[in-house]
């Protein structure tokens, strides 16, 4: 019966995963093949202001609607005349590049263009908010000029006389940016239980047009103390997970890049005293990297050498070992007016024993099926055959409950689904910030 149920689950998973991958792949190909035709100006009878829907994760919507009140804002992209995507990527020096994609619909169908804006790492939230709003204003202008309301627009150019380019700037830091962080320091206390959790680390990044470098040490410490009536001594669990992530990535072309990766990890919960992995990798992007903020299909391959030192003897009788492995990944990331797709797969093997492998499939999709109705689901499945560091012996109940010891498993499966339906007024123009 269990095997039959697992078979049903696996068939459902591969069916949903295949739909996500094919939807993403076909959407990207269709978008790439789309012609750049421009529609004729809309008729004079359509004098009402265009309907706008904004897709943005870092926008102050109240501020935008207050400052740019000459258009109508709607709650669903199916109602929009203009669909705006605002995406961002990290740049050299720790700044951000914002990309504004304006997609015309209905009377503006066929009109589509992109604006870009760079923000330095020292920019305040107020400065970023003002910049995003001004670029939205400029983007709206070309659509408004196709309406009778276009006569109310004027164009200005601010010439400050500056002719410096990025290549002429002298940077004493050579584009290195450092960031120290304390992700969380949390203390919870009850009469019979105390829990302390802390996470901190440092980022050191250098990003140029040709290279990306990162050195990132991180530290995670968690301590749980539980006093029970059945025991005189408290139960204490200490979890340490410290490590280092690093890479050097070279841009080879619009579609290819190569890199060298290195990691270090110590994790007592997984029986890892010391783990050092180094190796090269190569990536191919089906579409040019410059369009990767809204659609991307990439494939990567990595080959690595690892030194593994364990706290306890493993179930294979090892206290330390040297291992070689390789890994391949494929990812599809799509951000379109009808929704978004993020799906992919990864597979890895140890070269000394090809049966020691891991395969992971995942997908996350949100689709607007019709006006006001959205369906989203997330699914993740892993085939696990590479737990070489499992300690010998039986795990105690305390170790299991406090997650001090990794347990053997053949697979893992997670899924979720959500449905939303919104109806009523289409407009979101009104701003009310009370409470």
- Quote the CA–CA distance of 288 and 295 in Å, as a whole number: 10
Residues of the chain with CATH 2.40.160: 252-421
pLDDT band (50, 70, 90) for residue 282: very high
Q: What is the mean pLDDT of residues 284-304?
A: 86
Q: What is the pLDDT of residue 199?
A: 93
**Which residue blocks in 334-417 are alpha helix, DSSP H?**
397-401
- Two tokens at 101? 């994609």
> Which tops the pLDDT comparison, 161 or 252?
252
Q: What is the pLDDT of residues 377-419, one digit of tens each?
A: 888 999 888 888 777 766 665 665 556 566 678 888 888 888 8
Residues of the chain with CATH 3.30.160: 51-152
Q: What is the pLDDT of residue 428?
A: 64
Whether the CB-CB separation of 315 and 392 falls below 8 Å is answered with yes
User: Above 80 in pLDDT, residue 280?
Assistant: yes
- Quote the CA–CA distance of 193 and 238 in Å, as a whole number: 14
> Which tops the pLDDT comparison, 288 or 169?
288
pLDDT band (50, 70, 90) for residue 125: confident
User: Above 90 in pLDDT, residue 351?
Assistant: yes
Instruction: Provide the b/e sequence for 73-110 (b: ≥16 CB within 10 Å).
Output: bbbbbbbbbbbbbbbbeebbbbbbebbbbbbbbebbee
Tokens 């000029």 — which residue? 145
Q: What is the pLDDT of residue 307?
A: 96
- Quote the CA–CA distance of 63 and 126 in Å, as a whole number: 10
How far is C-alpha 75 from the geometric centre of its chain's CA atoms?
A: 24
Burial degree of 295 (CB within 10 A; 0-12, 13-18, 19+): buried
What average pLDDT is seen over the chain? 80
**Which residue blocks in 145-270 are alpha helix, DSSP H?**
none
Q: In 3D, which of 153, 148, 165, 187 has the Cα closest to residue 49? A: 148
Contacts of 359 (CB under 8 A, 6+ apart): 345, 346, 347, 382, 383
In 130-192, where do the E strands start and end?
176-189
Q: What is the pLDDT of residues 311-324, one digit of tens each?
A: 989 888 899 999 99
DSSP β-ladder status, 82-90 and 51-56: parallel
- Quote the CA–CA distance of 396 and 394 in Å, as a whole number: 6
Q: In 3D, which of 12, 137, 53 has the Cα closest to residue 339? A: 53
User: Above 60 in pLDDT, residue 43?
Assistant: no
3-state secondary structure (DSSP) of residue 257: strand
The DSSP output letter for 311 is S
Q: In 3D, which of 214, 208, 206, 223 has the Cα closest to residue 244? A: 214
- Two tokens at 263? 């990691």
**Assigned architecture for domain 51-152:** 2-Layer Sandwich (3.30)
Q: In 3D, which of 266, 350, 260 has the Cα closest to residue 306? A: 350
Cα angle 307-312-313, degrees, rounded to a multiple of 5? 80
- Quote the CA–CA distance of 341 and 361 in Å, as a whole number: 14
Pick the CATH number of 252-421 from 2.40.160, 3.40.50, 1.10.260, 1.10.1740: 2.40.160
Cα angle 256-262-268, degrees, rounded to a multiple of 5? 140
pTM: 0.63
């Amino acid at each position: 019966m269990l095997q039959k149920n697992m078979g049903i689950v696996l068939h459902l998973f591969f069916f949903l995963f295949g739909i996500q991958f094919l939807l993403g792949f076909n959407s990207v190909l269709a978008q790439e093949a789309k012609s750049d035709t421009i529609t004729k100006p809309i008729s004079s009878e359509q004098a009402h202001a265009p309907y706008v829907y904004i897709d943005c994760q870092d926008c102050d919507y109240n501020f935008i609607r207050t400052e740019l009140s000459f258009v109508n804002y709607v709650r669903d992209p199916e109602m929009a005349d203009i669909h705006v995507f605002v995406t961002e990527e990290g740049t050299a020096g720790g700044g951000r590049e914002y990309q504004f994609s304006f997609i015309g619909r209905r009377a503006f169908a066929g009109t589509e263009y992109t604006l870009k804006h760079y923000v330095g790492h020292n920019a305040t939230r107020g400065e970023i908010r003002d910049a995003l709003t001004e670029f939205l204003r400029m983007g709206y202008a070309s659509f408004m000029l196709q309406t009778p309301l276009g006569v109310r627009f004027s164009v200005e150019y601010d010439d400050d006389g500056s002719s410096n380019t990025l290549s002429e700037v002298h940077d004493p830091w050579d584009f290195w940016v450092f960031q120290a962080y304390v992700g969380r320091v949390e203390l919870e206390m009850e009469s019979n239980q105390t829990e302390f959790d802390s996470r901190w680390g440092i980022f050191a990044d250098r990003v140029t047009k040709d290279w990306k470098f990162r050195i990132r040490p991180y530290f995670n410490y968690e301590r749980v103390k539980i006093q029970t009536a059945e025991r005189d001594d408290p139960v204490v669990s200490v979890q340490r997970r410290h490590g280092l992530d690093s890479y050097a990535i070279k841009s080879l072309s619009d579609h290819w890049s190569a890199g060298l990766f290195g990691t270090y990890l110590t994790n007592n919960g997984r029986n890892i005293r010391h783990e050092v992995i180094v190796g090269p990798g190569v990536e191919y992007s089906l579409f040019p990297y410059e369009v990767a903020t809204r659609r991307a299909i990439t494939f990567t391959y990595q080959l690595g050498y690892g030194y593994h030192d364990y706290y306890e003897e493993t179930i294979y009788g090892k206290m330390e070992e040297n291992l070689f492995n390789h890994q391949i990944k494929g990812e599809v990331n799509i951000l379109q007016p009808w929704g978004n797709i993020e799906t992919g797969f990864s597979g890895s093997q140890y070269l000394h024993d090809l049966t020691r492998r891991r395969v992971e499939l995942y997908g996350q999709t949100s689709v607007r099926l019709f006006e006001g109705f959205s369906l989203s689901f997330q699914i993740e499945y892993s085939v696990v055959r590479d737990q070489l560091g499992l300690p010998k012996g039986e795990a105690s109940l305390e170790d299991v409950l406090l997650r001090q010891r990794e347990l053997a498993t053949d697979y893992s499966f997670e899924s979720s689904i959500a449905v939303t339906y919104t109806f009523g007024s289409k407009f979101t123009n009104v701003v009310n910030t009370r409470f």
